[in-house]
Amino acid sequence: MRAKKEALVLLLAGGVGSRLNILVQSRAKPAVPFAGLYRIIDFSLSNVMNSGLTKVGVLTQYKPLSLMRHLGTGEAWDLIGRDRGVKILPPHTGFKDSDWYKGTADAIRQNIDFLVKNPVDEIILLSGDHIYNMDFDAMLEFHRFKNADVTIGMMVVPKSEIYQFGAGVVDDNNRIIDWEEKPENPKTNLASMGIYVFDYKYLLDSLYKDKEEVDFGMHILPRAIDSGNVFGYPFYGYWRDVGTIQSYWQANMDVIRQGSGLSPAKWEIRTNIESEGRLADRPPARFGNDASVSSSMVSAGCVVNGTVVNSILAPGVIVEKGAVIRDSILFSDCIVGKNSTVDLTIFDKRAKISEDSVVGAGSNTNVPNILHPKHLYTGISIVGKEAIIPPGVSIGRNCIVNSQTGENAYSSTVIADGETV
* Buried-state track 312-326, b at ≥16 Cβ within 10 A, e below 16: bbbbbbbbbebbbbb
Q: HSE on the CB side for 229, CA within 13 Å? A: 14
Alpha helices in 234-313 (DSSP H): 245-256
Question: Average pLDDT for residues 114-137, to the nearest whole number?
Answer: 94
How much is the pLDDT for 42?
A: 97
What is the homologous superfamily of the domain 284-415 according to CATH? Hexapeptide repeat proteins (2.160.10.10)
**Element at 44 (helix H, strand E):** helix 41-50
pLDDT at 213 exceeding the cut of 80? no
Domain residues of the chain, as ranges?
A: 4-256, 284-415
Give the pTM. Answer: 0.93
pLDDT at 205 exceeding the cut of 60? yes
How much is the pLDDT for 100?
A: 65
Question: Average pLDDT for residues 281-289, to the nearest whole number?
Answer: 94
Cα 98-42-164 angle, rounded to 5 deg:
55
Q: How far is CA 35 from CA 182, 251, 308, 313, 329, in A?
A: 29, 9, 15, 8, 8
Q: Are 383 and 336 in contact (CB under 8 A)?
A: no
Q: Are 328 and 311 in contact (CB under 8 A)?
A: yes
How much is the pLDDT for 276?
A: 63
Q: Are 330 and 313 in contact (CB under 8 A)?
A: yes
C-alpha to C-alpha distance for 178 and 231, rounded to whole angstroms: 11
| pLDDT range class, residue 183, cuts 50, 70, 90 | confident
pLDDT, one tens digit per residue, over 306-318 is 999 999 999 999 9
Could you tell me which residue, 107 or 46, shows the higher pLDDT? Answer: 46
The amino acid at residue 19 is: R
pLDDT, one tens digit per residue, over 347-388 is 999 999 999 999 999 999 999 999 999 999 999 999 999 999
pLDDT, one tens digit per residue, over 226-260 is 888 999 999 999 999 999 999 999 999 999 999 99
Looking at 67-76, 286-295, 316-325, 350-359, which range is the least confident one? 67-76
* Buried-state track 56-91, b at ≥16 Cβ within 10 A, e below 16: bbbbbbbbbebbbebbeebebbbbeeeebebbebbb
How much is the pLDDT for 93?
A: 53
Q: Are 152 and 192 in contact (CB under 8 A)?
A: yes
CATH architecture observed for domain 4-256: Alpha-Beta Complex (3.90)
Backbone angles phi, psi at 81, to 5 degrees: 150, 180
How much is the pLDDT for 98?
A: 45
Highest average pLDDT, of 78-82, 113-117, 341-345, comes from 341-345
* Three-state secondary-structure class, residue 240: strand
How much is the pLDDT for 1?
A: 40
Longest Cα–Cα distance of the chain, Å, equals 68
How much is the pLDDT for 99?
A: 53
How much is the pLDDT for 277?
A: 63
User: Which pairing describes strands 166-170 and 176-181: parallel, antiparallel, or unpaired?
Assistant: antiparallel
In 3D space, the residue among 103, 101, 67 whose CA is nearest the CA of residue 86 turns out to be 67
